[in-house]
Amino acid sequence: DTGVSQDPRHKITKRGQNVTFRCDPISEHNRLYWYRQTLGQGPEFLTYFQNEAQLEKSRLLSDRFSAERPKGSFSTLEIQRTEQGDSAMYLCASSSGQGARYQETQYFGPGTRLLVL
Amino acid sequence: DQQVKQNSPSLSVQEGRISILNCDYTNSMFDYFLWYKKYPAEGPTFLISISSIKDKNEDGRFTVFLNKSAKHLSLHIVPSQPGDSAVYFCAASGGSSNTGKLIFGQGTTLQVKP
């Protein structure tokens, strides 16, 4: 089991460009979460997938953000027309989906650090 | 609306002594709590968790205490080691959400001095 992986680890882009991040969860984990962390703050929830279904989106996820999880495996997070305020660490986490009442551990990937110039 | 708060931005302790990190929450519907440790440029690493039906959970050097009436939890690390130096986040789930999303505190930076 190799854990949650994310690609790329770092991304520098110019304002107005589109970027896409990928997350590969732990094998056979049904639940996948995206979070965003800015300097000095804890991670903030963005969106949640149960298999391929996107079941919750945060108000933080503006219409410039879109996430997918085709076939319930890896997930992508796309940001269109990036703004300087999008600069942050984007974290992906997965959990097995076997826990009762969602009382289970989420395992995080290393994150993608985005810098928008 | 900060539902999970870690009021101490930093903590410094001597190696071998006890480290106590604190966390307060406001939503009485939270029913699962976790502590994560984070090094710079890495994702959070899970340390220990506790369900709201318990008031204590222990794993090696790490013990988490939950006081539901006070809406307070704490993480005790005994004995503290220099390798424990990192940012520690508490997180909670439950409440009105049924998706398991985690609500994090702002983090406490722990420095363990040799």
SS3 B85: coil
Chain A CB contacts of B59 below 8 Å: none
Residue A29 has pLDDT above 60, yes or no: yes
- The pLDDT tens digits for B2-50 are 899 999 999 999 999 999 999 999 999 999 999 999 998 889 999 999 9
Option in B41, B98, B106 nearest A102 (CB)? B98
Residue B87 has pLDDT above 80, yes or no: yes
Residue B95 has pLDDT above 80, yes or no: no
Which chain A residue's Cα is nearest to B99? A102
Q: Evaluate whether B87 touches A82 at the Cβ level (below 8 Å).
A: no
Under the banding of pLDDT at 50, 70 and 90, the label for residue A100 is: low
Q: What percent of chain A has pLDDT over 70?
A: 97
Option in A33, A42, A101 nearest B89 (CB)? A42
Largest CA distance in chain A: 44
**CA–CA dist B4, B92 (Å, integer):** 7
Residue A81 has pLDDT above 60, yes or no: yes
**CA–CA dist A90, B53 (Å, integer):** 32
- The pLDDT tens digits for B49-75 are 999 999 999 999 999 999 999 999 999
Q: What is the pLDDT averaged over residues A33-59?
A: 94
**CA–CA dist B99, A11 (Å, integer):** 29
SS3 A100: helix
Higher pLDDT, A99 or B13: B13
Interchain CB contact of A83 with B (< 8 Å): no
